[in-house]
């Protein structure tokens, strides 16, 4: 009987690690899709979208704030709330899709747009995802726009430096929500 929770936890760990994150460090975001599975309760098993406000809803469980929490934290809350109705409940929460993790590349690139990220992506890789820069791009005036603590910051990126193997520290790993601007 105790092998079932271990199996569920293993499935969660495998699903999240396949996305390139350790199970305990990926924070859920609006747009992510979760599969919530309740052992022996097919009516409570479903795919759940993390809404734009960061919450999810489930029968018997109600509203849960999911954004900014790990799948394990959400699983624990669901399990705790279901114990009122199902004393020996076992819940698994699997991150099915990380649609909430995106970066944006705009300006003089061949394919501007939003790009989902499910692994670490640096500025050079983001430019590659966008099909490279157009011939008229100002390659030494590229900026990365990032929100930190409610404020927008700008990080400079000089493509020619990286191209020549200099100042490599500016080729930062992008965070979800970052915008690469190529003037």
Instruction: In whole angstroms, give the CA distance from residue 52 to residue 80.
Output: 24
What is the CATH code for 3-97? Answer: 3.30.1950.10
SS3 content of the chain, % helix, strand, coil (to 5): 25, 30, 45
Which pLDDT score, from 0 to 100, does residue 46 have? 94
pLDDT, one tens digit per residue, over 24-40 is 578 888 888 999 999 99
117 pLDDT band, cuts 50/70/90, is confident
Would you state the CATH architecture of domain 102-182? Roll (3.10)
Q: What residue spans define the domains of the chain?
A: 3-97, 102-182
8 pLDDT band, cuts 50/70/90, is very low
Which residue is listed with tokens 């350790």?
22
């Amino acid at each position: 009987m105790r092998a079932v929770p271990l199996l569920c936890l293993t499935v969660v760990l495998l699903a999240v690690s396949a996305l390139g994150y350790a199970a305990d460090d990926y924070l859920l975001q609006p747009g992510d899709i979760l599969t919530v599975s309740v052992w022996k309760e097919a009516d409570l098993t479903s795919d759940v979208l993390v809404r734009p406000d960061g919450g999810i809803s489930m029968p018997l469980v109600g509203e849960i704030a999911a954004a900014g929490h790990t799948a394990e934290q959400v699983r624990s809350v669901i399990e705790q709330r279901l114990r009122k109705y199902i004393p020996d409940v076992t819940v698994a929460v699997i991150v099915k899709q990380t649609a909430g993790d995106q970066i944006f590349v705009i300006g003089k690139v061949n394919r501007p747009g939003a790009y989902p990220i499910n692994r670490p992506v640096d500025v050079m890789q983001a430019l590659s995802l966008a099909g490279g820069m157009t011939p008229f791009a100002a390659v030494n005036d590229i900026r990365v726009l990032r929100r930190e603590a409610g404020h927008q910051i700008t990080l400079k990126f000089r493509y020619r430096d990286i191209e020549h193997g200099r100042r490599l520290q500016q080729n930062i790993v992008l965070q979800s929500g970052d915008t690469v601007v190529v003037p």
